[in-house]
């Protein structure tokens, strides 16, 4: 089943297109956190970042960098967040990988409000667990 992003890419649903390549599209979010909130989406419909073939992930990062710079420049060098919600527990609502470029003004909401503390030795255990998955 096609996601809403695939339908936008195919031209079935209108959007405010910011940028497009053969492999990606950047559009304004219809429910923005701030003016200029832009989504950068690969045209290949995959749910998670790790599902993208490496060459397409590299291309997506190039486009993301270019669009993020344009968003910042358009708002006089404004700061911004780049956010990927990768999976439902991370807040992903559309199962089609996409990055949010969200301009941030002074006093605007900031992510990472909740922090945890590792217990003694826990950081080393978590680090080893992740490293073991890189092999």
Query: Catalytic pick from 98, 100, 109, 115?
Result: 98
Cβ distance 42 to 60 under 8 Å? yes
Query: Residue 63 in 3-state DSSP?
Result: helix
Torsion of CA 3, 9, 11, 13, to 10 degrees: 40
How many Å is the maximal CA-CA distance in the chain? 54
Is residue 8 within 8 A of residue 16, CB to CB? The reply is: no
* Active-site residue, 37 included: no
Query: CA–CA separation, 120 vs 23, rounded Å?
Result: 46
Catalytically annotated residues: 98
């Amino acid at each position: 089943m096609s996601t809403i992003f695939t339908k936008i890419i195919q031209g079935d649903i209108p959007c405010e297109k910011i940028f497009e390549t053969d492999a990606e599209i950047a559009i304004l979010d219809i429910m923005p956190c701030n003016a200029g909130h832009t989504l950068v989406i690969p045209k290949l419909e995959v749910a998670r970042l790790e599902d993208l073939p490496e060459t397409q992930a590299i291309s997506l990062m190039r486009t993301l960098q270019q669009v993020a710079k344009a968003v910042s420049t358009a708002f006089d060098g404004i700061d911004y967040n780049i956010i990927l919600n990768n999976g439902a527990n991370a807040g992903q609502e559309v199962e089609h990988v996409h990055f949010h470029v969200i301009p941030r003004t002074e006093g605007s909401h900031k992510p990472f409000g909740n922090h945890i503390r590792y217990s003694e030795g826990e950081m080393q255990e978590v680090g080893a667990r992740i490293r073991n998955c890189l092999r």
